[in-house]
Structure 1
Amino acid sequence: MNLFFEDVEVGAHYVTDAHEITSADIADFCRLTRDHHPLHTDEAYAKAAGFGGIIAHGLYGLSLMEGLKTELKLYEETSIASLGWNNVRFVKPILAGDTVRVEMEFTAKRASASRPAGVITEAVRLMRGDEVVIDAEHISLIRQKG
């Protein structure tokens, strides 16, 4: 799609394809980040802590949100930089076997004062069925057409 700043419509809503979280995904994230807390590696421990099984790291969910959003190819050649994530809330645990998707909506935009680009704001939610699992705001810098 390759949205430029001028193409972004505040209120536009997008939904990604679904993705199933696997135990292997969680294990890979443990290995990459060196975070081997038993909530992410030991099913009995996670169940004793009140979960239905091992849970994914909140940061895995946040990273997955960006990856799924990238698959929409909204800014394939127009993205300049992520400026950060705000108001990140890990609302519900993510378990191996969950199927999730991302729902996002443009909530604001403004031209950059220093370059031919614009700052856009997205409300981004990781969803499991009708449940919000992670809720966050993402700010990005994308190219203008000029």
Structure 2
Amino acid sequence: MVLFYEDLHVGQVFESVGRTVTDHDVMTFAGISGDFNQLHTDDEFAKKSNFGTRIAHGVLILGIATGLTQRMGIFDGSAIALLGLEWDFKGPVKINDTIYLRMTIGSLRESKKGDRGIVVRDYEILNQHEEVVQTGKITVMIRKRPKD
């Protein structure tokens, strides 16, 4: 079910399905981004780190969060544009951790054009232990419900 600007209210909460972060995800992201930091790609190096194992790139998890948002389907056809992003990395995501997101509507305001609004979505990314590993705000432009 697609949601439009009028369907949203401050404090409204949505949760996504889970997504397991795999070795393939991490190595593919390393290849695409060129970030082959040993903490992400070298088991032996990572064993000696504070984490004791390899961890996923923080930005990979942010990207997965946008995919989890899309999988909810609630903004398919109503989202117009990404306007801004603020993000904090709170803890590691290890290979084979399962993450999900909790998104809360933080604020709403109408845009200058009458057919859309600005929505700030507050994010918490949690792992399978319900530990918050990332938080952030994503500001988007959302269509208003068509009048016809």
Asked if TM exceeds 0.5, the reply is yes
Contact 1:47 1:53 in 2 (8 A): yes
TM-score under structure 2 normalisation? 0.94
The letter of the residue matching 1:33 is S
Q: Match for residue 67 of structure 1?
A: 67
Aligned partners of 1:97 and 1:11: how far apart in 2?
A: 31
Residue in 1 that maps onto 2:85: 85
Aligned amino acid, residue 77 of structure 1: G
> Aligned with 1:104: secondary structure?
strand
Aligned residue identity for 1:94? V
Name stretches of at least 5 consecutive residues in structure 2 with no aligned partner. none
Residue in 2 that maps onto 1:14: 14
Indicate the SS of the match to 1:29. helix
Question: Take 2:114 and 2:91, find their aligned partners in 1: how far apart are those partners?
Answer: 39
Q: Deviations over 1:91-112 (max 9, x none)?
A: 0011101111111110110000
Partner SS state of residue 72, structure 2: coil
Number of the residue aligned with 1:55: 55
Residue 95, structure 1, aligned to residue 116, structure 2: no
* AA of the residue aligned to 2:36: H
Does 1:109 find its partner at 2:126? no
Distance (whole Å) between structure 2 residues aligned to residue 141 and residue 22 of structure 1: 32
Contact 1:52 1:95 in 2 (8 A): no
CA contact (8 A) 1:10 1:108 kept: yes
Residue deviations 1:42-76 (CA, integer Å, cap 9, x gap): 01111212213111111001111110111001110
Query: Where does the alignment leave 5 or more consecutive residues of structure 1 unmatched?
Result: none
Instruction: Describe the shift of the 1:37–1:4 C-alpha distance in structure 2 as closer, same or farther (beyond 3 A).
Output: same
Question: In 1, distance between residues paired with 2:73 and 2:15?
Answer: 12
Deviation at 1:115, TM superposition (A): 5.0
Give the Cα separation in 2 of the matches to 1:81 and 1:115.
Answer: 16
Name 1:5's counterpart in structure 2: 5
Cα RMSD over matched residues?
1.1
Distance 1:57 1:16 in 2: 20
| Aligned-partner Cα distance in 1 for 2:67–2:47 | 29
Off by >3 Å, runs of 4+ in structure 1: none
What code does the residue aligned with 1:114 have? K
Identity of aligned pairs, percent?
30
Give the paired residue count: 145
Report the residue type matching 2:88 in the other structure: R
